[in-house]
Chain A
């Protein structure tokens, strides 16, 4: 049954959001702390576990895959409802602050990606060998 997969996905999101909201209250923060991320962990666990087989395989799995495939169309709709006019109206300060934050963050991606890599030493040698 397709709806079993959809129900599992919904349950993961609701429970994750509840935990994220509770974390926000516990930390005295006016935001949901990682609710979606926690929900994703639940779904990863369920899809890797034998116990949830009836909810994740066959037709039930198709119910989850459908929403996964709807991701890009939903993101396109999300882009179409952004306050682009508001961002443009923000002026030079808002523009510079936003652009600079993105540029510096982009530059840090390769630096932090090296943390926890299995053979950082080998890479270093390979780089030194290059002319």
Chain B
């Protein structure tokens, strides 16, 4: 047991490659046999990943899911921001500039519309739950933007730790739901071309959610959605503690 532990921990990134490969093989097998290809194999793999993350979080009490289990720490590196961003940029290889230009304006509008709409919805629900303090309402609204915008805004305007934690949870729910929900609603919302993918990325904004959601829908759309999504958190951090907070302060 000691030997296994030593080898697994010392080579944790390699263990992660092998484990993820196995999970994807099982997922594609299930997608093919059980759903006859109706559900994308990667959608099943991502869902399995989320279930494993829940298990890892409950067992370890940490906040990086399965990566908190010592022997599987490599999952943290493999699925961390550095390699994720590296692979996202690589998907842009072979994309034509003309496709990006076609949806340029709609993409920019969607980023601002997405931040404001998510914020308003989150803030409204905070009010429904009886919050009356402007800083608390703003922080929860910002959490509905992304789980990064929530704490950045909350700390800037002096919200309590409890509310900041709540805003992170709201952002996590959003991110996870985008991962699972996107392939299910893709046809309904016309998500089948580069233009709508750019609008989708701008509206949703959660890079993890968009990255996984589009991967499970149609990997060809990934670069377009990711392109706009990566501006979203920055715009959210810009608007949250400033204009949006001022507006909420004016009302409450």
Contacts and interface: CB of A to CB of B under 8 A. Distances in A.
Contact of B173 (A23, A37, A99): A99
Interface stretch (B3-11, B31-39, B203-211, B244-252): B203-211
Contacts of A16: 89
A71 B215 contact: yes
A109 B65 contact: no
The secondary-structure label for the interface of chain B is: helix
A23 B54 contact: no
B63 A71 contact: no
A21 to B, nearest CB: 10
Nearest to B51: A84
Contacts of A112: 106, 109-110, 113, 199, 202-203
Given A43-B89, A97-B126, A31 B95 contact: no
A24 B66 CA distance: 31
The secondary-structure label for the interface of chain A is: helix
A87 B173 contact: yes
Interface string A89-131: 1110111111111101111111011011100000000000000
B28 to A, nearest CB: 10
Contact of B84 (A78, A99, A108): A78
B45 interface: yes
Contacts of B52: 80
Nearest to B93: A64
Interface string A15-27: 0110010011001
B183 interface: no
B88 A40 contact: yes
Nearest to A35: B230
A101 B176 contact: no
Contacts of B185: 106
Given A70-B90, A108-B117, 12 more contacts: A17-B85, A44-B96, A47-B93, A47-B94, A71-B219, A75-B79, A79-B179, A84-B51, A90-B166, A97-B170, A108-B113, A110-B196
15 contacts: A30-B156, A40-B230, A44-B95, A67-B90, A71-B87, A85-B53, A86-B57, A89-B169, A97-B170, A98-B144, A99-B173, A100-B125, A102-B178, A102-B204, A113-B196
